[in-house]
């Protein structure tokens, strides 16, 4: 589906018309993948649009920049306000939010330190990332022949733009083979994550998710789901998982800001089946939470209008 245009994009402090939000072809990050970014969602609530865990996402953006030695020329509070302002001026109730910090035009070559640092925030309406049917019935997944990153090849704690060529390769491989999503293993052979989502399995009634040391991004949804699962009374832990743990899972699901909570129906054609009771309970609570319907988690919502 093509992007649904809105009126304005925030670029270095200016609200620029959508069609004019352009960069030079010699933008450093275009050539070397030297940017860092975030993916955030705002949801419609009875108090107007609210951004889910906005401050946490902006904090992770600054951490990604720190890892790459990029100095963001704004404070976290300024970017939190800029996200809210961008949603407000576009009159959106619910949307996806994409802040990106990129190295701009002015220098080329692999030393990024002299490059100008640019910041942009785009918002647009974005439906279910893995499809309505996937959300309801679960997705078919395939273990990728591409490994997730070795943490000493690229920093897995950062959301660096260049790191996503790994995700794209795995995604295309899975799609061309007729699956919905790829699961990547770490170079050591442990389950890491999907192309843009963390992963959970249910084994002997316990919920397990791979640790950061298996090369997964520390997902903000993963963290929300861990809290929700614990509060629902489930036992949950981080654990190194083998591919056979996926094949034999009682239930499995993936989580991410774009994808939200999506059941996994099969892995490499080994059926897990229809979404199970734990997956359903967690999915239901997550959607109620982001819409502001669960008092206990109201602090996770950051309303766009004061
Ligand atoms: N893993 C990867 C590789 C991702 O790109 C994302 C999306 N940011 C996630 C996991 C899920 O993270 P979050 O829940 O913070 O969106």
Cα(106) to ligand 1 centroid in Å equals: 31
Give the pLDDT of residue 1.
72
pLDDT band at 2 (very low <50, low <70, confident <90, very high): confident
Give CA torsion, residues 302, 34, 153, 215, to 10 deg.
20
Averaged over 2-21, what is the pLDDT? 97
The DSSP string of 189-228 is S-EEEESS-EEEEEETTEEEE--GGGT----HHHHHHHHH
Cα(40) to ligand 1 centroid in Å equals: 10
Of the three residues 83, 104, 124, the one that is the final residue of a domain is 124
pLDDT in tens, 31-88: 999 999 999 999 999 999 999 999 999 999 999 999 999 999 999 999 999 999 999 9
- Residues 28, 91, single domain; the answer is yes
- Residues 142, 283, single domain; the answer is yes
pLDDT in tens, 155-194: 999 999 999 999 999 999 999 999 999 999 999 999 999 9
The residue behind tokens 């279910």 is: 128
Residues with CB under 6 A from ligand 1: 39, 167, 193, 196-198, 217, 219-222, 255-257
Q: Residue 189 in contact with residue 148, Cβ under 8 Å?
A: no
Residue 101 above 90 pLDDT? yes
* 82 Cα distance to chain centroid: 20
Residue 142 above 80 pLDDT? yes
Give the pLDDT of residue 233.
98
- Residues 147, 280, single domain; the answer is yes
Classify residue 48 as left (phi > 0), alpha (psi -120 to 50) or beta.
left
- Residues 27, 175, single domain; the answer is no
Active-site entry in 159, 171, 203, 298 = 159
Alpha-carbon span 7 to 93, nearest angstrom: 14
Mean pLDDT of the chain: 97
- Residues 139, 120, single domain; the answer is no
- Residue range of the domain that includes 227: 132-290
Q: Answer yes or no: is 144 within a domain.
A: yes
Give the pLDDT of residue 57.
98
Q: For a substitution probing ligand 1, which of 256, 258, 259 has the most ligand atoms within 8 Å of its CB?
A: 256
């Amino acid at each position: 589906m093509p992007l649904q245009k809105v009126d304005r994009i925030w670029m270095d402090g200016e609200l620029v018309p959508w069609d004019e939000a352009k960069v030079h072809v010699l933008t450093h990050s275009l050539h070397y993948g030297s940017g860092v970014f975030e993916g955030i969602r705002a949801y419609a609530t009875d108090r107007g649009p609210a951004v889910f865990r906005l401050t946490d996402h902006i904090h992770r953006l600054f951490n990604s920049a720190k890892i790459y030695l990029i100095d963001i020329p704004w404070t976290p509070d300024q970017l939190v306000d800029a996200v809210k302002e961008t949603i407000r001026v576009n009159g959106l109730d619910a949307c996806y939010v994409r802040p990106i910090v990129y190295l701009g035009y002015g220098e080329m070559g692999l030393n990024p330190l002299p490059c100008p640092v640019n910041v942009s925030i785009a918002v647009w309406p974005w439906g279910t990332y893995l499809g309505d049917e996937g959300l309801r019935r679960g997705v078919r997944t395939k273990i990728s022949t591409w490994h997730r990153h070795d943490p000493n090849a690229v920093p897995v704690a950062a959301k660096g733009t260049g790191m996503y060529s790994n995700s794209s390769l795995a995604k295309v491989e899975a799609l061309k083979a007729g699956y919905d999503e790829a699961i990547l293993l770490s170079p050591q052979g442990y389950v890491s994550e999907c192309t843009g989502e963390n992963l959970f399995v249910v084994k002997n009634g316990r919920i397990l998710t791979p640790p950061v040391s298996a090369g997964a991004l520390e997902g903000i949804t993963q963290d929300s789901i861990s809290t929700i699962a614990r509060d629902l009374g489930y036992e949950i832990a981080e654990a190194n998982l083998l591919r056979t743990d996926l094949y034999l899972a009682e239930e499995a699901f993936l989580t991410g800001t774009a994808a939200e909570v999506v059941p996994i129906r099969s892995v490499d054609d080994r059926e897990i089946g229809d979404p199970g009771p734990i997956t359903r309970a967690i999915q239901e609570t997550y959607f109620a939470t982001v819409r502001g319907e669960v008092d206990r988690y109201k602090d996770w919502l950051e309303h766009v209008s004061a």
